[in-house]
Structure formats: C-alpha cells, structure tokens
Amino acid sequence: MANINSKGVEKNTFDAIVIGSGISGGWAAKELCEHGLKTLVLERGKNVVHLKDYPTATKNPWDFQHRTYEPLTVTKENPIVSRCYAFSEASQHFFVKDKEHPYVQDKPFDWIRGYQVGGKSLLWARQTQRWSKFDFEGPGRDGFAVDWPIRYDDIAPWYSHVERFAGIAGNRDGLETLPDGEFLPAWEMNAVEKDMSKRINAHYKDRHVVIGRCAHLTKPNEIHKQQGRGQCQARSLCERGCPFAGYFSSNSSTIPWAEKTSNLTLRPDSVVHSIIYDEKKGKATGVRVIDAHTKEATEYYAKIIFVNAATMNTNLVLLNSTSSRFPNGLGNDNGLLGKFVAFHNYRGTLSASMDGYLDSYYYGRRPCAIMMPNFRNVYKQEMDFLRGYMTFYSVLRAGWGMLLMARRLVAVIRRLYQKPVRG
C-alpha cells in the first residue's frame, strides 16, 4: 500500500492515535486530550452520540413487536450473541450479529462484539470490583504462567483516579480480598437479602456478604455533573443507552470530556487494517485505515499509538501488521499472538423461592447484586483447583422475579429446539 504525499502526511499526523472507542479507548482519549495531545480516535463502527442515538431508551415493552423478546428466527441466526444477557429486541442494534462475523469454534468461546462509538461500554454489566493483592500475587504464588510485574499497591492510585471520575457505588467493607475504593453511596440490600446475609455471616466466619460495587451514580458528585450526567433511576434498561447517563460509558463520559478539550478528532466507520512499522526508526509510526463505506485506504501518523480494539480485534490488527522485522505480525516473535485464548467459565446459577416478608418491598431495579468475595485458596492452597471465585445473589419479589425466570426458561426452550435431540 503506497504512502500518501508529504502534504497528506502532515495533514494526517497527530500526537496520538487511539484504536477503538470502547471503555479503554475512551479513557485513553480522555487522558491524552486532557494533557494537551492532539488525539485521533479510530472506530470501525458507526457513530453513536449520547442521547441522540439511543432509539429504544424510553420505549415501553408494548412499543416493541415482540415485547422486547427476540423472535426465534433471530436466536437461530445468532446462537452465540443471543446468549448475552443484554441481547434483546430493544438492544440488538448495538451488537454484531453472528453472520456478520462468523464464529468457528473447536471449543465454546463466546466473544461478544459491539461495533459502534462507545463499543461495549454501552453493553457491559457495570460491576466494578478491584483486584486484591491476592489476585496480583496469584501467578507467582501458584507457580503458574508469568508473574505480574506490578502489585496492587502500584495500581491502587489509578483505581482511585478512575473511580472518582466514573462514579462507583459501594460500601467500604474493610476486606482484604475486596479492596475498598472511592465510592458513592451504596445501593441497599432488601429485607430478604439482609436476612440471608446475616445468616451466612453468622454460620461462615470466612465468608463475607456485601453489596456489590457498580458504575452507577447513586449521588452524583460535582465531577459527574460537569460531565452532564444524572442520578441512576434504577430502570435496568442500561443496554439500550441511558438518557440520564446514570451509568458510566464512553459515550456519556470520557468521549464528551475529551471533545471539550478541542484536542479530539473522532473518526467512526474507520476499520484499522494494520499498524505501520518504520524499519529505520525501529518503532510503530502510524496506522493504515480502510473506510467502511468507500473502502478507501488512508494512513495516519503519530508518535503514540494505543491499541484498544478489544481482545480479538487487537490480535487481528497486530497479526495484520507485518513487516520485514515482524513477518508474523507486530510483536509476534514468539508466534503466540491470537493463540491459547481462554474464556472464563464465569456463571453457574441456582434459584429458589422463600415464603414470608410480605410486609417489605424495595426501590426500583437495582443494578448490582449481593456478593461474596473469594474465600477459596486465599491464604493457602486448600482445594484441587487454583485460585477462587466470587458468588453473587439477588432476591426479587415474585412479579419481577417470575418475569426473569420466564425469560430464562424461554431461552432454554429455544436452545433445545435449536439442537437435534437424539433418542
């Protein structure tokens, strides 16, 4: 691919280039622009402007043809993406469909994609627990994988920096396995959750039940008001885009903040083909971009290049970035780029019903669950597996709880009908 002319190089040169506009890309743009760097953010998907481009944010269930449930034809066409909790008739426009990026799976690996400005910051579950010192010490302690070059104390100030700006609701619980942060007022447990918490804490001295931490504004501070954000309304419609900006996303927070500096250039519909490596300088100097509509190729240049294209596409960009120095892809001297990718086995569920508590209720649809931080293999190896896990639970009144259970049951039935049954 030929380089553009010298005047074009000057026109297309920035102090920094950020690839991807999701949570990490939005943060990179904010930090770079705040420090005075002319920054280009490249997003392969469409532009999504806060408030303007949330078409379903204020719709009622009866405003949708299928009352927000995706029809069977959609789940059959999207067996992977439809497994995401947030995928529905009201939010599917923010998801990449399976046929748009087909999956080839030797083993199950569900990687959900969101191609738009803001990426999956519009779709994430917004639960924001800090890693503890035990998490950073894990590889060294277990003798497994590569030890972390940093520890919790090194990154703790940066946790605080992010929490203050994003707005995280939670309690300061004083637990070694779940470090405290810079919190807004926490959401409240309901009567049944408080009762269950009391019983668990009384019976198991090593298990602490606390309210989860989440990126929702329970009581906005001045920094959040400056962003134009308001209090979370506990609607639980977050994946549609929040018109109140009650939860943190690139669209409602970091990107508008970067735009206010006048140092940001945002280019949606710009698919990054590869990173340009200068053989003489021995470093990356720019990126090659394909316009998603015209297919026109353009090169942009900068001294700083942040690659924030999520796990899979970051690997794709690096593997595409070949040169004499890196014939197998930028940084791929060991041949491991894009291989041995692991998927967290992150969810198993139990459900039950409890009698009583008819004189108590709760406010709204709380955006976080009750959680029990890890208590396995913390101070010593005591199980036949490495590391540990967190446990979450919530208690809901029958009406809303039955609705959620019905939705899960419908999803299970659909999956059964999607697979051949062998006698």
Mean pLDDT of 43-71: 96
Q: Kindly report the average pLDDT of the chain as a whole number.
A: 91
Q: Is 129 helix (H, G, I), strand (E, B) or coil?
A: coil
The backbone torsions φ and ψ at residue 139, rounded to the nearest 5 degrees and listed phi first, read -60, -40
Q: Tell me which H or E stretch contains 255.
A: helix 255-259
Detail the DSSP E strand segments found in 118-255.
Answer: 168-169, 183-184, 210-211
Q: Which two tokens stand for residue 416?
A: 């059964």
Mean pLDDT value of segment 287-301: 98
Write the pLDDT tens digit of every residue in 88-114. Answer: 999 999 999 999 988 887 777 788 999
- Range with the poorest average pLDDT among 150-154, 208-212, 260-264, 400-404: 400-404
317 touches 304 (CB < 8 A): no
For 168-227, write each residue's pLDDT tens digit: 999 999 999 999 999 999 999 999 999 999 999 899 988 999 999 999 999 999 999 999
Give the residue, 399 or 85, on which the prediction is more confident.
85
pLDDT, residue 149, reads 93
Residue 400 has pLDDT above 70, yes or no: no
Low-confidence winner among 55-59, 156-160, 286-290, 417-421 (lowest mean pLDDT): 417-421
Is residue 3 scored above 60 in pLDDT?
no
